[in-house]
A and B are shown apart, each in its own frame.
Chain A
Amino acid sequence: MSGETIRTLVKKSAYQDSVVLLALARELRTGRGVLEAAALMGTPANKELLAQSGLLTREAETAGANDLAIVIRADSMAAAELAVSQAEAFFTSKQQRLCRAGHSLPRTLDGARRHFPGANLVVVSVPGPFAASEARKALSAGLHVMLFSDNVVVEDEVSLKRLATKRGLLLMGPDCGTAILNGVPLGFANAVPRGRVGLVAASGTGLQQVACLLAARGEGISQAIGVGARDMTEKVGGLMTLQALDALGADPATELIIVIGKPPSPSVRKQVQVRLRAISKPGVLALLGREVREEQEGELRTVATMEDAAEAALAALHGVPWAPRPFGAPREEIHRRVLAIQQTLAPQQRGVRGLYAGGTLAHEATLVLESLLGAVATNLIPGSTGHHRVLDLGADEFTVGRPHPMLDSTLRVEAIRLAAREPQVAVLLLDVVLGYGAAPDPAGDIAPALEAARADARAEGRDLAIVASVIGTPGDPQGIESQTARLEAAGAWLLPSNAQAVRAAACIAGGDPIMRLLFEPMEATER
């Protein structure tokens, strides 16, 4: 007779990144007879996690920060042994995939430069405390850098950007994991065509939203430069934004420039505006904040949402007038859908819960929701309170020691479960971000949780509205059609942009007054 057993494998000096370990643990958990599996580097924080799940065995306890600990709990010794050999096989096949023609991989940046003398860009995504030093080495060697890592301190960011500026190099990031250079997607980016719109973005998901909306309308990207979330703050002084604007200004392929982010410091704003005017190409400023109002000044347009940035850019490129619209679909269609959903809800259900993977999408959701429904509580603004809530699940407080929610849905699945239990919640509002680097099946990861949430609500005599937008293109590895179909099968109402999804959620929660607020100003202008 066999009994439950725990088997541990410690591989000394075998550093693996968090995404690899996530994939391995997932694979091991699917093994027959495997009850739980963990694959973690032996850092103190990770050992604490193992202890919490009762997997900190004596062997695992001996693992150091650079040692890999794999712990398997199975219903029999045979099942545990099988999982261990599966883990060994995982690493052998992985090694083979990345090695070129029998060569072993270099272990340092210098080694890589010797192997690959023509390299011109370094993507750095090592853990934050080690990232600045690697980026500095790359810049010193004359290489452009995309600094994907987060948790890089601002002092390091400033000194790296000064060095980059001095050497005429790009230092993209940190805390902005997206760029597209010469059509090559870097970090989290989507499959979009090459074209004539240049993007400068302090926001990764903002860049993705604008690039995807442009692509959906047949317009492509010349270059998309992610300058880092803090670049336009007083401390960093827009060092990379200004550098990127100059580069796009001089780039003959770029006909229009969109700047994406949060409101910059006053001095940076002034410099950005001066620079854009000097460039004499049409510009769109999508620097999303409470005080931002739609306006046109010469060739420079200021907009309030990411979708408006894409739409205003398209209008400028085609030489046609433009005004913001609340929805792509006609009022009657939106109204019908909202009414149908409202009929399934109980009277006390008035709250919106935004559960976001993308930080800027969460920021945009907070702004749009606030303008329509009033106060919103969000982890983006410490101390904020309100009837409605928006969570950025990619914020630093959620990602220490675990992959970003665009890679791992565990946290969001839990958040969906918790929100569904609140009887006053009417709408779950979500973003689903596709593209290179993102999880292989984000819709499939959350759809069962959405179905379970609705089933739980129905069991208590109410329902739950699910409103979402998918940020992606047909060329993305996940394929937007199948992702969309999976979410719709789970009962989600999908809108073409995050801004529209937020407005739809507000209409469901707020009813007719919100519909009027959204449509009447536009209809008055059209009359």
Chain B
Amino acid sequence: MMAGIAALFCQEIRVINLGLEVFAQELQRLGVPVIHVAWSPPAGGDPRKAALLAALADEEEE
């Protein structure tokens, strides 16, 4: 079960950054491989609608 984390400790950290851009910029400056996502709130920024959409997506996956 530990394979995932133990494996991560031996790998290069490669980051997807979702949210504050400053974190992607800092990592970029340090030479850490990173991709920033131009994220915007789903469902027009309505948290309640977004939660409903996410629940539907989860059901589809199951």
The minimal Cβ–Cβ distance linking B11 to chain A, given in whole angstroms, is 6
Are B18 and A169 touching (Cβ within 8 A)?
A: no
* Size bin of chain A's contact surface: 35 or more
| Known interface pairs A127-B41, A247-B9, A250-B2; A184-B27 also in contact (CB < 8 Å) | yes
Are A123 and B41 touching (Cβ within 8 A)?
A: no
**Chain A at the B interface: SS class:** mixed
Q: Which of A143-195 contact B (CB under 8 A)?
A: 143-144, 148-149, 167-170, 181-182, 184-187
Which residues from chain A contact B22 at a C-beta distance below 8 Å?
19-20, 437
Are B5 and A184 touching (Cβ within 8 A)?
A: no
Counting CB contacts under 8 A, is A357 at the interface? no
Interface size on B, residues (CB 8 A): 46
Are A105 and B38 touching (Cβ within 8 A)?
A: yes
A243 to B6, CA, bound (A): 11
A58 to B24, CA, bound (A): 35
A437 to B40, CA, bound (A): 21
| Known interface pairs A98-B25, A125-B19, A251-B6; A133-B54 also in contact (CB < 8 Å) | yes
Are B18 and A97 touching (Cβ within 8 A)?
A: no
From A20, A119, A250, A436, contact of B6 by CB (8 A): A250
Are A122 and B18 touching (Cβ within 8 A)?
A: yes
| Known interface pairs A66-B44, A169-B5; A119-B37 also in contact (CB < 8 Å) | no
Are A105 and B37 touching (Cβ within 8 A)?
A: yes
Counting CB contacts under 8 A, is A13 at the interface? yes
Report, nearest first, the 9 A-B pairs whose CB atoms are least far apart: A65-B45, A125-B19, A168-B4, A129-B47, A15-B40, A133-B54, A105-B38, A247-B5, A126-B19
A interface residues with partner B (beta carbon < 8 Å): 13, 15, 17-20, 41, 43, 64-66, 94, 97-98, 100, 104-109, 111-113, 115-116, 118-127, 129-131, 133-134, 136, 138, 140, 142-144, 148-149, 167-170, 181-182, 184-187, 223, 243-244, 246-247, 250-251, 253, 436-437, 477
User: Would you list 14 pairs from A and B whose C-beta atoms are within 8 A, ordered by A residue?
Assistant: A107-B37, A111-B37, A122-B15, A122-B17, A130-B47, A130-B50, A149-B19, A168-B1, A182-B12, A187-B23, A250-B2, A253-B9, A437-B22, A437-B23
